[in-house]
Chains A and B, each alone.
Chain A
Amino acid sequence: MTGKGDPAAESLRAAARELVDIATTIQDASGHATAALTDGALLRALPRAASAARLAYRALLRATTSGAGLGYALTGGRAATLAAKAGAVLGAESLAVRVLATSLRLRISAVVSGHPELAGDPMVTRLVDAAAADRDLEALRALRALVKDRGAVRALSRLAPVLGEVLALRALLDENPLNDTTAWLIATGKGYASADPITGVSNKIIAVLDVGEGAARPTELPAAESARLCARGSLLGFLGNISALGTGGRVLIQSVEGPDGVIRHVLQAPGMRVGHPDGDSPQDLFGAFSSAVLNSSPYSRALAKAVADYGVPHGAELALVGHSAGGAAIMNLAQDAEFCARHTVTHVVAVGSPVDFKQPADPRTWVASVTNQHDIVPTLDGQGAGNCFDLHPDWYVVDYADPTHLFPICHSIDRYRANLAHDLPGEREHIDARLTPYRGAVVRSQAYLLFDRPPWRPDFPFLTVPTRVAPGPDGPVDLPIRTRDGAALTAYFAVRPEAVRDLLDVTGPAVRVGGRVLVAVHAARNRDTSTADHHELHLGILVPGPPHDLAGLARPLRRTDLLGVADLVRRVDVRCSGSFLVGSAVDAAGVQSLAATLWGGETYLTGLELRVSPRSVRLAADQVFSLRGRLGAAVPLSDPGFVGYAREGDTTLRSSVRARGRARLHPAPVLRLAVEPHSSHPLAERLRDLGLDGARPLLCLTSTARQSLRDAAVPVPPA
């Protein structure tokens, strides 16, 4: 482990600091001379004292442009700034810039003193020397040679400890006037790097692309991730939680009971998600930029909303722990005066984060910053291993280097955690000692999913309906059942009327096509529901309306026209036709116990599987049947839902499923239903009786993504 504290490096940093002060003095003098040169008072006096004025102007011009003195030193004011930029394009430098460049070279020497591997690397030395000497072509060749020899990742890792200084040095000395301000800020430590030091493109331009008021929604962690959460508060425990959360846009808030019995709260924020630079989550590339360079970002605003939703009491003590962009975001939260007025932010621990130019609103907040010198992310604000300024004397700063030297591995939360666990025991113990009030049993954990903006609520408006609690066999049931993620298949088969009449005692007429009765096999997959996730299967004979006529039991079925078929796709609330249920099945016992309430009739419990894609379908009921094949061409339409009728004693029940989503009508599917051979399951026997074993449907309706509402079945009023 290598950290600051090397006497040679400290002397070099002190010298670099002194040179910054000297450069600032020279720059101030340049500004004063420029102000005198451009003062209107002198210009106005010119006609009255021409000879003396000429002498004074000549002296001022010499003072502000002489290469032997202040150099090309015009600075301050619009005209002088334009002239200075024009001079920069021509390669004219000021004495202040040259002294500042020497300061940066001393900073590089200080880093090299602590990193012998840099001094012993001729390729790195060649690159640093070329950048310091403003030999662009040579610097480019040196960089290419380094990348070719080591690969991009290793080259970047090798340069990481001095990258900020090398880039600032090059920016100071190159002919691009756009990056001069950033170079000056990095070299003097006066502020965060306001622009890319190579191109000069403002970081704020990138940061302002990350917009949004921020939002947080509670989310449940999978069991495997929950099992990884720490049961007691500690630095390694909190960092382990951040590792468990990953970079999928989630954060964690925990409540711990401290040794004094007081409940305190810990907000834990992971870093940037690799991938799309600007996704829905604030944990993206743009979010990392805005968190680093702005005082408030969608990430920090989303964090504040998570804390509010969690219900952290007013004035309660809160510790913030963050990694990478998460560290910058929690620092933004800590410097938010309004947030700190609501909560007492006692501790901030930022790991691998660019936080040098942030300051908590509450001066009592204890801040720890842990950075690996080979990690480039903490240097995004311009200050890295070569930083010669003590920007926060009251912070606890752990700036170290481990032998890995490989970015981005050294930036990972697991690497930081391993370093703190095994290589930095003293530093870990110090931070843990400061975190003592939070080192107790975790009494509550809640994860949140963060968004740049409040996400579109998938429940609204379709699933936002009045609900009620209805009695069920196994306890109260919340109705209607709301399904957020569903899929469905309805396959229509043509069956001989005799099969229906002789075997099923159907009352009333059936929908017929070409002299045959239509039988529907309807299956639905219901996930993310207000009750248990489940599949349901219904076998029904299509009827044009509720079968009232009990006297017609023995009467031949009447023929109906095709209007009955057209009615099948009308809105559920005005549809009369439906499936007279002759057998149902579900794969969840809880739903089976509700079947009599939901649709009536006999419902079996069996394993069900439904896979629907735009091209094919597979429906299987354990030990009963399967229906699979290609769906063929399709016509799009709105999902028509499902209407079922069932007999309960003397009453006819009507049940319905209202659906929202796109459906596809397949007029010529290539499917085949196969009943399990030798199966004695009642549904299998019923399918055989209907002649559906080996049958192919006439047409199919499918839906691959839908929302649905299923309420209790209602009795059909007597005719």
Chain B
Amino acid sequence: MPVDVAALIAHAEVLSADARALAACADRLRAVEAGLEAEGVAPPWLRSSVTAHLAACVTAAADLETAARDLRAYANQAARAPGARP
């Protein structure tokens, strides 16, 4: 069965977009915390929670970007193989 290179590349594109969205999520989390702190209504537990979440978002964004990059490499290699479907 021929390799569906286009499907692999499509997955990679989506994962890259998600990586950027997660990086943005980290910024949004920072903004949420900063907003509540500025108003003086942030619960005492919020900072540690947000800190953990945004660290995870950054890591997840990196993980997704890595997966996207490896998927592209995989697609390129598969495309060069005989019988691959562009």
Residues of A with Cβ closer than 8 Å to B? 7-8, 11-12, 15, 18-19, 21-22, 25-26, 28-29, 32-33, 35-36, 39, 41-42, 44-45, 48-49, 51-53, 55-56, 58-60, 62-63, 66, 68-71, 95, 98-99, 102, 105-106, 109, 113
Contact = CB atoms under 8 A, between A and B. Distances in A.
Contacts of A33: 15, 18, 64, 67
Given A63-B63, A68-B55, A98-B56, 17 more contacts: A15-B36, A22-B28, A29-B60, A39-B11, A44-B4, A48-B77, A49-B81, A52-B73, A52-B74, A52-B77, A66-B60, A69-B56, A70-B56, A70-B63, A95-B56, A99-B29, A109-B43
A95 B57 contact: yes
Contacts of B69: 59
A29 B63 CA distance: 11
A718 B6 CA distance: 107
Nearest to A70: B60
B18 A28 contact: yes
B22 A39 contact: no
Nearest to B59: A69
Contacts of B77: 48-49, 51-52
Contacts of B67: 33, 36, 56, 59-60, 62-63
14 contacts: A8-B41, A33-B18, A36-B14, A36-B15, A42-B71, A45-B84, A48-B84, A52-B77, A59-B67, A59-B69, A69-B60, A70-B63, A105-B43, A113-B41
Given A48-B78, A59-B67, A29 B21 contact: yes
Contacts of A66: 59-60, 63
Contacts of B8: 41-42, 45
B49 to A, nearest CB: 5
A320 B63 CA distance: 55
A52 B63 contact: no
Contact of A56 (B49, B73, B84): B73
Given A8-B41, A41-B7, A55 B73 contact: yes
A18 B63 contact: no
Nearest to B50: A102
Contacts of B46: 102, 106
A26 B36 contact: no
B81 A48 contact: yes
A44 B85 CA distance: 12
Given A8-B39, A41-B8, A95-B53, A62 B74 contact: no
A36 to B, nearest CB: 4
Interface residues of B, number: 48
Closest 9 CB pairs of A and B: A69-B60, A29-B18, A59-B67, A36-B11, A63-B63, A69-B59, A52-B74, A41-B4, A45-B3
A62 B49 contact: no
Nearest to A95: B56
A71 B56 contact: yes
Contact of B53 (A15, A49, A98): A98
B47 to A, nearest CB: 11
A48 B78 CA distance: 6
A395 to B, nearest CB: 27
B70 A55 contact: yes
A89 to B, nearest CB: 22
A26 B11 contact: no
Nearest to B4: A41
Contacts of A11: 35-36, 39, 41
Nearest to A129: B45
A49 B78 contact: yes
Contacts of B56: 68-71, 95, 98
Contacts of A68: 55-56, 59
A69 B18 CA distance: 13
A19 B3 contact: no
Contact of B60 (A26, A28, A48, A106): A26
A44 B1 contact: yes
B81 A63 contact: no
Contacts of B64: 29, 33, 63, 70
Contacts of B3: 41, 44-45, 48-49
A12 B41 contact: yes
B74 to A, nearest CB: 4
Contacts of B60: 26, 29, 63, 66, 69-70, 95
A56 B43 contact: no
Contacts of A36: 11, 14-15, 67, 71
Given A8-B41, A26-B57, A18 B28 contact: yes
A110 to B, nearest CB: 9
A15 B32 contact: yes
Contacts of A60: 67, 70-71
Given A41-B4, A49-B78, A60-B67, A26 B25 contact: yes
A70 B29 CA distance: 15
Contacts of B55: 68
Contacts of B43: 12, 105-106, 109
Nearest to A32: B14
Nearest to A71: B56
B18 A102 contact: no
A53 to B, nearest CB: 5
Contacts of B11: 32, 35-36, 39, 42
A19 B18 contact: no
Nearest to B28: A22
